[in-house]
Amino acid sequence: NWPRMAALTGHSARQMQHELGTLVYRNPEGGSWETADRYLSGYVREKLRVASAASALDSAFARNVEALKAVQPEDILPGDISARLGSPWIPTSDIRDFIVQLLDIPERAVSVAHAGAIATWTVTLDGYAKSSVSNTTTHGTERFLASDLIEQALNGRVPTAYDEMPDKSRVINQRETIAAREKQQQLKEKFSEWVWKDEQRAARLARDYNDKFNNLRLRTFDGSHLTFPGMAREHLREADLDKHQKDAVWRVLQTRSTLLAHVVGAGKTFEMVAAAMELRRMGLAKKPMIVVPNHLVEQWGAAFLQLYPQANILVAGKDQFSTGNRQKAMSRIATGNYDAVIVSHSSFEKLPVSDATFSRFVGQQIAELETAITEAKAEKGDTRRIVKEIEKAKKRLTAKIKERADREGKDRTITFEELGVDQIFIDESDLYKNLPYVTKMNRIAGLPNSESNRAIDMFIKTRYLKERNGGRGVVFATGTPISNTMAEMYTAQRYLAPEMLKACGVEHFDAWAANFGEAVTSLELAPDGSGYRMHTRFAKFVNLPELLSMFRSFADVQTADMLKLPRPDVAGGKPHIVAAPASEDLKAF
């Protein structure tokens, strides 16, 4: 705020800009000034393009161009990029060329279509090409054509052969299934080799990949300057927050959404309390809400007042949200001017969103599908199957709206939107990891198949806050951001960085999995011990540096090894096993 700074210092804005030098830059998009750590981070490739265009019209932006050139990520070479069947950034024309060359058929005989909105691919061959020896025998099996195996690989599926029994039931034919999966694996490997063989194609695809995924520079956050007015420090170690805690608070203040992925004991509670109070003090949030596990509500209230004794907080435990009291509690939240409102996970779920918010949430997805239908119909070639798949997805979403309308009825109460909450902090956010997603990856282990209404409710509320606040307003905190499955990283991105997934074309889980995960097929002992079977698991990350850059753009990760916090030594230098004799009760049990 140059006028404010000029009033405080007596210096002109131009003079201060000159003195600050490389610490500040004017952003050509909008013309506002930004600190160097903000401007020279994020999507720096796109920023360089904008700055280059601006400097052609105004030489003042030449310094921006020079600074941005110095922070461009180094291009990843083709050999370090995992390009596989189903990768959403590979054009349909390249998939078609691969099929044409592999099966030695005319180009006009093959049609490949892709609907990014539902991450669905279709491969269509004309009658002659379909019955060719290369499709049925050379690269196919007795039960599966090569074109079918390729289409299944594009959609993240593995082939499974069934035999029909006299009673009309179906059983898996292990021999044919193993043969088909081995042949599909060979086709995948052939594509991964073929895609980089042509120099022109390799250069083009590598450029596309770098522009889409290798375009981020992570920002560093230094909160050492924060003073935290009103904080009681006497009980803190060295009478102040630790460096990593200050940095985390500064990150919350500076970014849109944050995941505090700090190890247990790192002080996430005080980080969120301090961040909530600073957001209030700076006018960045009017009413923060902290959502904590049910049994920790009172403990959180005590910790909040321990750090800020003068704070005006509302601690709404389960009693306030019991039947008969809920309306009163919601009225208190809506009408009170609190520094923070602390509620339990179960109470938060009882705060209903309005029908308008839910309909808009689903309506946005329907609008995207309608656009995809229009685009698919405009494409050349046979796109009837792809249009049919998108139409099915649209019908499922429409049914969701009707189902909710029938379930909710006419029961009228204060809604989440009417409470005035504009910032939420979620403690133990890993409890919301069962967010449902759509996938065509069938018969693959390592993918969560559970879904919870609690997670859907959280997703809608976080989406509403981010829409209302220009992308900010949500902070998650957990010591276990990824515990059981690889899909949990995708879920965290959906909550906190959906716009990044969309920009990279991996908004749909299958597109994300095709680019960053790999299903590994191996021989495993059958559960009943009767023999061996082929089993496919989603168990390996690929293109990991780019995935980590996306994740670390919103996640503040602190492990025990990174922090080296003081801990008491273990007596004797190492753990000892103590054998406790069994009681009579235990023996009887």
Q: List per-residue pLDDT tens for the chain, 589 residues long.
A: 999 999 999 999 999 999 999 999 999 998 999 999 999 999 999 999 999 999 999 999 999 999 999 999 999 999 899 999 999 999 999 999 999 999 999 999 999 999 887 888 999 998 888 888 999 989 999 899 999 999 999 998 889 899 999 988 889 888 898 899 899 999 999 999 999 999 999 999 999 999 999 999 999 999 999 999 999 999 898 899 999 999 999 999 999 899 999 999 999 999 999 999 999 999 999 999 999 999 999 999 999 999 999 999 999 877 777 767 778 888 999 999 999 999 999 999 888 888 888 878 777 777 777 777 777 676 655 567 677 877 877 787 677 666 655 555 444 578 899 999 999 999 999 999 988 887 777 667 778 767 788 898 899 999 999 988 888 899 999 999 988 888 899 999 999 999 999 999 999 888 999 999 888 777 778 788 887 777 778 888 899 999 999 999 999 999 999 998 888 899 888 999 999 999 999 999 9
Q: Would residue 86 be called left, alpha or beta, if left means φ above 0 and alpha means ψ between -120 and 50 degrees?
A: left
pLDDT of amino acid 366: 79
Element (H, E) at 423: strand 423-427
Beta bridge partners of 313: 340
Distances (CA, A) of 389 to 113, 419, 436: 12, 40, 19
**8 Å CB contact between 160 and 118:** no
Q: What is the dihedral of CA 306, 307, 312, 313, to 10 degrees?
A: -70
pLDDT of amino acid 408: 52
pLDDT of amino acid 139: 92
- Count of residues for the chain? 589
Element (H, E) at 120: strand 120-125
Beta bridge partners of 122: 113
Tokens of 85: 């069947």
pLDDT of amino acid 382: 58
Beta bridge partners of 388: none
**8 Å CB contact between 40 and 71:** yes
pLDDT of amino acid 410: 47
Which of 324, 320, 328 has its CA nearest to residue 347? 320
Read off the amino acid at residue 25.
Y
Q: Are strands 257-262 and 474-477 parallel, antiparallel or unpaired?
A: parallel
Tokens of 367: 């609008």
Which of 43, 42, 63, 45 has its CA nearest to residue 54? 63
* Coarse DSSP helix, strand, coil percentages of the chain, rounded to the nearest 5 percent: 50, 15, 35
Q: Are strands 288-292 and 340-344 parallel, antiparallel or unpaired?
A: parallel
pLDDT of amino acid 116: 84
**8 Å CB contact between 124 and 385:** yes
User: Which residues touch 121 (CB under 8 Å, ≥6 apart)?
Assistant: 86, 92, 95, 112, 113, 114, 151, 154, 155
Which of 218, 226, 329, 215 has its CA nearest to residue 277? 226
Which of 31, 33, 69, 74 has its CA nearest to residue 52? 69
What sign does the CA torsion over 530, 535, 539, 544 have?
positive
Read off the amino acid at residue 95.
I
Tokens of 250: 């500064």
pLDDT of amino acid 400: 66
Which of 131, 109, 135, 100 has its CA nearest to residue 382? 109
> How far apart are the C-alpha atoms of 515 and 156, rounded to whole Å?
11
Read off the amino acid at residue 553.
S
> How far apart are the C-alpha atoms of 456 and 234, rounded to whole Å?
41
**8 Å CB contact between 145 and 508:** no
Which of 223, 479, 464 has its CA nearest to residue 364? 464
Q: What is the dihedral of CA 85, 86, 90, 91, to 10 degrees?
A: 100
The string over 283-302, giving b where at least 16 C-beta atoms fall within 10 Å of a residue's C-beta and e elsewhere, is ebbebbbbbbeeebbeebbe
pLDDT of amino acid 311: 96
User: Which residues touch 564 (CB under 8 Å, ≥6 apart)?
Assistant: none
**8 Å CB contact between 63 and 20:** no
**Can you say how many angstroms the Cα of residue 207 is from the centroid of all Cα atoms in its chain?**
24
> How far apart are the C-alpha atoms of 301 and 315, rounded to whole Å?
6
- The DSSP 8-state label assigned to residue 137 in this structure reads I
Q: Count CB neighbours of 470 within 10 A.
A: 8
Which of 265, 263, 361 has its CA nearest to residue 562? 263
